Amino acid sequence: MDSVTDEEFDEHFTSFQREAIHLEMRDSYGTAEEIPHLRKWEAGEPDDTDWLQPWFDLVSAGTRAGKVFRRARIVSEPISDYQKWALNDTPLFVAAGEDIRWVPRRRVSTVALPGNDFWLFDDEIVIFLIFAGGGLVMDRLRTTDRGAIELCRTSFEEVWKLSIPTSAYRPT
């Protein structure tokens, strides 16, 4: 596996041909870009979502070109404040064309999962996201290993079968 730069990571979102799938397994993240917006939400202040527009534009353009973006979020319930914040904005991601589903952690007890969140592009490249305990991205590791790809595809599809679409998800 090799580390990828931010720029290399971003290129995958425009260069894939068919499908990009993302499995999230943490209850809280703390990416540098998100932290100020999360803090505003926690303080009860309105948060504009203009900072998300580049992602929405990318997903919209991709889906118009026939590409598929799917994301499954495995969450503990009751959900964390971070996931409450994420759930609040998720309809905007869905409106842009991303299919995002939620999976209560208790549903995946018998699913074999990789050790880290990942993006899988066209069943050809997996990028594992390596986080610090506080949620900051520390590294992104790319591989084309067929075993890793199969693990990620299989685990994602098993999780997807157990998932709840954003429009129907009501956290406990």
Can you give the pLDDT at residue 92?
A: 96
CA-to-CA distance for 67 and 65, rounded, in angstroms?
A: 6
The answer to whether residue 50 is domain-embedded is: yes
pLDDT in tens, 120-136: 999 999 999 999 988 88
The answer to whether residue 7 is domain-embedded is: no
Can you give the pLDDT at residue 156?
A: 98
Helix 35-42 and helix 81-96, axial crossing angle in degrees, nearest 10 = 110
- More confident call, 32 vs 80: 80
Can you give the pLDDT at residue 31?
A: 75
Could you give the residue ranges of the DSSP H alpha helices within 65-111? 81-96
The answer to whether residue 29 is domain-embedded is: yes
Residue 15, CA distances (Å) to 10, 104, 124 in order: 9, 32, 12
The answer, yes or no, to whether residue 47 has pLDDT greater than 80, is no
The answer to whether residue 86 is domain-embedded is: yes
The answer, yes or no, to whether residue 34 has pLDDT greater than 90, is no
The answer to whether residue 115 is domain-embedded is: yes
The answer, yes or no, to whether residue 101 has pLDDT greater than 80, is yes
Averaged confidence pLDDT in the chain:
95
What backbone phi and psi angles, to 5 degrees, belong to 33? -70, -35
Residue 112 belongs to domain with CATH number: 3.30.870
The answer to whether residue 147 is domain-embedded is: no
Average pLDDT, stretch 164-169?
A: 97
Domain containing residue 71: 17-141+152-168
Can you give the pLDDT at residue 35?
A: 84
Domain count, the chain: 1
pLDDT in tens, 51-90: 999 999 999 999 999 999 999 999 999 999 999 999 999 9
The answer to whether residue 3 is domain-embedded is: no
Rg (CA), the chain: 16
